[in-house]
Structure 1
Amino acid sequence: MGKSTGTGGAGDGRIGAPAGVFLLVAFLAAGALGAAQAGTPIPGEVIQLTQFGSALGVAAVALLWPGRTRALPAGALRSGELRWGRGLLLLLTAPLITAVAVGAHGAVTGGVRFTGPGALESPFAVIVVAQLAGACGEEIGWRCLLQPLLRTRLGPLAASVVVGLVWGVWHVQVFTRAPLYAGAFLVMAVSLSVVMGLALERVRGSRLLLAGGFHALINLGMLMFMDEESGAVLPMALTALAALAAAVGWTAATAVATRREAPARVAGPGEAVRLP
């Protein structure tokens, strides 16, 4: 998979400073928002305020480099140029990951955990809307700003892995858990990042809605079928393995598609070849 400089105008200028400011603000804001939530009545099952640390990082970049914001996150909000096939496959991948993880958990433990909407402390409709809002609050930074920035220097797979690693570390609270739990979470984060990064490659419209929808579906599936929030290693490890399998599948499918498209991407005189 080759490098690209044609990611919605993101290839102009250096990326180090915008990426650095985004990460600094995203990490600091997430910590501050997490501390602030402890003093509010907002339940964690509804939404985690830390998710909006990423959005505040984007806001900081927007103040310092407004052109980058117009070319990257702003472009991700457009409704045009939506590739319904890739978008639908991405959204379907989320419940598939949950189903595989839940099936494996049931096979190992002999039972399937299910928390019905009526058993939740808050109305399920409120949780769904809040989860989507929170997921979009995260993804406007990770998949709509940082990923396109890195794509000006790296191929889609490498950029997705880097974003996934940083995104995983950004969830600093997981490192208070057992090492196996934290390691499994990092595998899951990188794998989900690869799925989203490859699925959204060359998708210019509705990137935020697709990434946020995928992210929210993963969170809702874990909320209703898994008990990883308790710190249990098994459900987190099985979810990580299911996400890894999905990432391998998307990587293989993307490689096949790239090979098929390569003959049609013949460079003209003086024009560089750009692979997807």
Structure 2
Amino acid sequence: MGGMRADFAGRAERRGGVWGTVVVFSVVACVAAGALGAVQPATGIPEEVVQLTQFGPALAVGVAALYRRRRARELLRGTGAGSGPHPLGGAVLLGAAGLIVALCVLGYYAVRGEVPFTSPGSLQHAFALIVVAQLVGACGEEVGWRCFLQPLLRSRMGTVASSVVVGVLWGAWHVQVFAQAPLYAAGFLVATVAMSVVLGVALEGTGGWRRLLLAGGFHALVNIGLLLFLDEESGAVLPMVCFGLSCLAVAASVVAVSLRAGRRAAGAVPQATTLHGT
């Protein structure tokens, strides 16, 4: 009886530790992003190249690691524990990023009859520099959201549920969005939640540098696509609504394909066993 009480207390303590870590991570990520955004003008680094706020989540991981070093190391390596939608892998993930941008462009064109394309040569800085910097900045975010927080919550929830929570926190972290029109903010939150689901499903069971590079690559591809083809940074509602709906459509497709792949894999196991037995 005493052992059962001790086991229950241990589980409760670990559960409390998870949510305490989530709170600490979220607060530090917000404070660090605000501080980095405030000092960026003094650094001379153009926001077109990279926004220093993107490194707020990475600093939050560092703070969390100060008091939970072993746990942070385990999370960054990736756990892949539990059952959930069948993982789809890196090729599907990067393809999903391109599909999101393509759907945005098609949706915008269907409404306006034109697309506000920005030529890479018309940017103020070399496009190659922007691409590299966008990848670095995206990895600065994703080491926190997808490599630390997602596996942390995944240890307590399913793949989709944990991805939704991370997506909500990720969207809320972009506090400047809430100064825009309500429909703009709603479109953005739909986009962050949907992209988080895409990332969570595709990266299930993947850890380490591969997880970071795939998540960062997806993030950077979406950012670069929006930079070239849409003007959502201006506060215009239509491109953000197109973005949110495109992300939602891709997320629904990814979950459906993943579940179908999981059912096929589960059905193949008994069949293989029977054939082997005969």
Q: TM-score, normalised by structure 2?
A: 0.85
- Which residue of 138, 145, 149 maps to 2:141? 138
- Which residue of 84, 92, 95 maps to 2:95? 92
Query: Aligned partners of 2:193, 2:180: CA distance in 1, in Å?
Result: 18
Query: Aligned partners of 1:141, 1:197: CA distance in 2, in Å?
Result: 13
Query: Aligned partners of 1:63, 1:38: CA distance in 2, in Å?
Result: 29
| 1:81 aligned residue | none
Whether 1:203 and 2:202 are equivalent positions in the alignment is no
The CA deviation at 1:30 is 0.7
The CA deviation at 1:169 is 0.3
The CA deviation at 1:17 is 2.5
Q: Which has the larger radius of gyration?
A: 2
* Paired amino acid for 1:138: E
Structure 1 residues 59 and 110, CA gap change in structure 2 (3 angstroms): same
Q: Runs (4+) of structure 1 moved beyond 6 Å? A: none
* Paired amino acid for 2:60: G
- Which residue of 29, 33, 43 maps to 2:32? 29
| 1:79 aligned residue | none
The CA deviation at 1:265 is 7.8
| 1:212 aligned residue | 216
- Which residue of 53, 57, 60 maps to 1:57? 60
- Which residue of 147, 152, 161 maps to 1:149? 152
List gaps (5 residues or longer) in structure 1: 1-10, 77-83, 267-276
Query: Aligned partners of 1:169, 1:44: CA distance in 2, in Å?
Result: 20
| 1:102 aligned residue | 105
Say whether the 8 Å CA contact 2:77–2:207 is kept in structure 1: no
Q: Deviations over 1:29-82 (max 9, x none)?
A: 011111111333222111111110000000011111110121112459xxxxxx
| 1:71 aligned residue | 74
Query: Aligned partners of 1:258, 1:15: CA distance in 2, in Å?
Result: 28
List gaps (5 residues or longer) in structure 2: 1-13, 80-86, 271-278
Structure 1 residues 45 and 125, CA gap change in structure 2 (3 angstroms): same
Q: Trace 1:3-18 onto structure 2 (pairs within 5 A).
A: 14-18=17-21
| 1:260 aligned residue | 264
Query: Aligned partners of 1:199, 1:160: CA distance in 2, in Å?
Result: 11
Q: Deviations over 1:107-153 (max 9, x none)?
A: 21111221111100111111001100000000000000110011111
Whether 1:236 and 2:240 are equivalent positions in the alignment is yes
Whether 1:183 and 2:186 are equivalent positions in the alignment is yes
| 1:251 aligned residue | 255
Secondary structure of 2:146's partner?
Answer: helix
* Paired amino acid for 1:195: V
* Paired amino acid for 2:160: L
Whether 1:193 and 2:196 are equivalent positions in the alignment is yes
Whether 1:223 and 2:227 are equivalent positions in the alignment is yes
Query: Aligned partners of 1:264, 1:60: CA distance in 2, in Å?
Result: 45
Q: Deviations over 1:226-257 (max 9, x none)?
A: 00000000001001111100000011112222
| 1:126 aligned residue | 129
* Paired amino acid for 2:215: A
Whether 1:169 and 2:172 are equivalent positions in the alignment is yes
How many equivalent pairs are there?
250
Query: Aligned partners of 1:156, 1:74: CA distance in 2, in Å?
Result: 17
Structure 1 residues 265 and 166, CA gap change in structure 2 (3 angstroms): farther
Query: Aligned partners of 1:120, 1:181: CA distance in 2, in Å?
Result: 25
Query: Aligned partners of 1:169, 1:69: CA distance in 2, in Å?
Result: 23
Secondary structure of 1:21's partner?
Answer: helix
Say whether the 8 Å CA contact 2:78–2:205 is kept in structure 1: no
| 1:45 aligned residue | 48
Query: Aligned partners of 1:202, 1:157: CA distance in 2, in Å?
Result: 13
Secondary structure of 1:254's partner?
Answer: helix
The CA deviation at 1:216 is 0.2
